[in-house]
Amino acid sequence: MTHDAVVEPAPAKLNLALHVTGRRGDGYHLLDSLVAFAATGDEVQLSLGPLSLQVTGPFAPGLAADEDNLCLRAARLAAAEAAIVLDKRLPVASGIGGGSADAAAVLRGLARMGHALPDMPERLGADVPVCLLSAPARMRGVGAIVTPLPALPPVPVVLANPGVAVATPKVFGALERTDNPPLPDIPRFADLAALIGWLRGTRNDLEPPALRLAPVIARVLAALTAQGAGFARMSGSGATCFGLFAAAAQADKAAKALKQHGWWAVATELAPPLRPR
Ligand SMILES: C[C@@](CO)(OP(=O)(O)O)[C@H](O)COP(=O)(O)OP(=O)(O)OC[C@H]1O[C@@H](n2ccc(N)nc2=O)[C@H](O)[C@@H]1O
Ligand SMILES: Nc1ncnc2c1ncn2[C@@H]1O[C@H](COP(=O)(O)OP(=O)(O)O)[C@@H](O)[C@H]1O
C-alpha cells in the first residue's frame, strides 16, 4: 500500500566503536565500525506536492533549507517530488549522522509513497546505507558495506554535545595513522556488561584527532564518567559523545547535570530496529 503523506523518524547514529583501517587513493578512509541507533533523532514528514523543504525545530537556525540540504539531495537522487518538512532536533555536523539519517528517512518515506530506492545511496554520504537500515550493524569499507547484527540489549544512553562543530574532513585529516587493525569479532551481547567489556577492547580512532581540534570534548567525556556512565566515548568524527548507563533514572540525572554546562544533552536509549509505521 502506498501513502499520500508519511512521517519517518531519522534516529541518531552512534559509532559505538570505529576503527580506521586504511585510506583509499581518493582520500576516503576505510572504516570498521559497530553502529547502533538511539531512540531519539530528527523527523521528516513527506506529502504529495512539488519538491520543497521546510526546516523546523531547535537546530533549524543552523541549517539552510537550500538545494544542498541532504533531504532535497535524497529526493533528487530518487527522482521524486515531495513536500518535505524536516524537524531538526539533532545538532548539525556532530558525529551522529544527522544529515545522513535525514537523507535515509526521506528515502524510506519516498519508498512508502511508492518510489524506488536509488542505486548507490552512499553517493549522498558515507553513512546513508547504515542509516537506511537504522538498526545495529557492522559498517565497513567507506560505509557502503553494511552487515546487520542481532539486536543490542536495551541500554540507557546519554548523548552530549558541547556546541562546537567539528568538520569531518578535518578530523580525518588530523589522523596520525590510518592502518589500524579491524574490530575484533562482534558477538551477540547478552547485557550491558558484555557490551562494555567488548567496547573496552576497541576504540574510536577519530577521538584523538578530534580532541586535539576541540579539547572541550575531553570535558564532556569526563563529565559523562563522573555522572556514572559505565562507558563513555565520542561518536563518529565528533563532537557528540555518548555514555552508557545501568539505569534510565541515572541517565536522566546525568543529562540534566550536563545541561548545566550549557551543553546539548539528552537521555535516551539504544533503539530497537525501526518498525514500519
Ligand atoms: C565519520 C563518520 C563515521 O560514521 O560519521 P560522522 O562523523 O560524519 O557522523 C562517517 O564515515 C562520515 O560519513 P558522512 O558524514 O556521511 O560523510 P561524507 O559526507 O560521505 O564525507 C565527508 C568527508 O569525510 C571524509 N570521509 C568520510 C567517510 C570516509 N569513509 N572517509 C573519509 O575520509 C572525507 O573527507 C569526506 O569528504
Ligand atoms: N539535513 C541535514 N542535516 C544536517 N546536516 C546537513 C543536512 N543537509 C546538509 N547538511 C550538511 O552536512 C554536514 C554534515 O552534517 P551532519 O550529517 O549533521 O554531520 P555528522 O554526520 O557529523 O553528524 C553539515 O555541515 C551540513 O551543512
Q: Which residues define the annotated binding site?
A: 91-101
Q: How far is the CA of 217 from the centre of ligand 1 (A)?
A: 19
Its ipTM equals 0.95
Query: How far is the centre of ligand 1, averaged over its atoms, from the C-alpha of 92 (Å)?
Result: 14
Residues with CB under 6 A from ligand 2: 63, 68-71, 86, 92-100, 102, 127, 168, 236-237
* Nearest-CA residue for atom 15 of ligand 2: 93
* 19 vs 36: CA distance, rounded Å: 15
- pLDDT single digits (tens) 111-129: 999 999 999 999 999 999 9
**143 φ/ψ sector (left φ>0, alpha ψ -120 to 50, else beta):** left
Mean per-residue pLDDT, 204-231: 98
Per-residue cell: 205? 580512532
Q: What angle do CA 233, 237, 240 make, to 5 degrees?
A: 50
pLDDT digits (tens, 9 = 90+) for 189-212: 999 999 999 999 999 999 999 999
H/E element, 76: helix 70-77
Within 10 angstroms of residue 154's Cβ, the number of other Cβ atoms is 13
Average pLDDT over every residue of 69-83:
98
**Residues that are catalytic:** 13, 127
Q: Which residues, in sequence order, are CB contacts of 72 under 8 Å at separation 6+? A: 51, 53, 66, 84
Which pLDDT band, with edges at 50, 70 and 90, does 273 fall under?
low
DSSP letters along 38-55, please? EEEEEEEEEESSSSEEEE
**Residue with CA at minimum distance from ligand 2 atom 7:** 99
Q: Where are the beta strands (DSSP E) in the chain?
A: 5-23, 29-47, 52-56, 83-87, 137-141, 145-148, 156-161, 231-234, 241-244, 264-269
Q: Identify which ligand lies nearest to the alpha carbon of 21.
A: 1
The single-letter code of the amino acid at 188 is: R
Ligand number nearest CA of 124 is: 1
Residue of minimum CA distance from atom 5 in ligand 2: 99
Residues 6+ apart with CB under 8 A from 25: none
Ligand 1 centroid–CA 143 distance in Å is 8
Alpha-carbon distance of 187 to 198, in angstroms, equals: 9
For β-strands 83-87 and 29-47, DSSP reports them as: antiparallel
Mean pLDDT computed over 3-11: 93
Cα(267) to centroid(ligand 1), Å: 25
**Ligand 1, atom nearest to 100 Cα:** 16
100 lines ligand 1 (CB under 6 A): yes
Atom number of ligand 2 nearest to Cα 96: 23
Ligand nearest to the CA of 205: 1
Predicted local confidence at residue 5, as pLDDT: 87
Of 142, 204, 220, 229, nearest to 14 by C-alpha is 204
Contacts 24+ apart (CB under 8 A), 53-57: 53/84, 53/85, 53/86, 54/84, 54/85, 54/86, 55/85, 55/86, 55/88, 56/85, 56/86, 56/87, 56/88, 57/86, 57/87, 57/88, 57/89
Mutation test residue for ligand 2: of 70, 124, 127, 206, the one with most atoms within 8 Å of CB: 70
Å from CA of 83 to ligand 2 middle: 20
Nearest residue CA, atom 4 of ligand 1? 236
Q: Is the whole model's pTM more than 0.80, yes or no?
A: yes
| Residues forming beta bridges with residue 45, ordered by sequence position | 7, 85
Domains delineated in the chain: 5-148 (3.30.230.10), 156-269 (3.30.70.890)
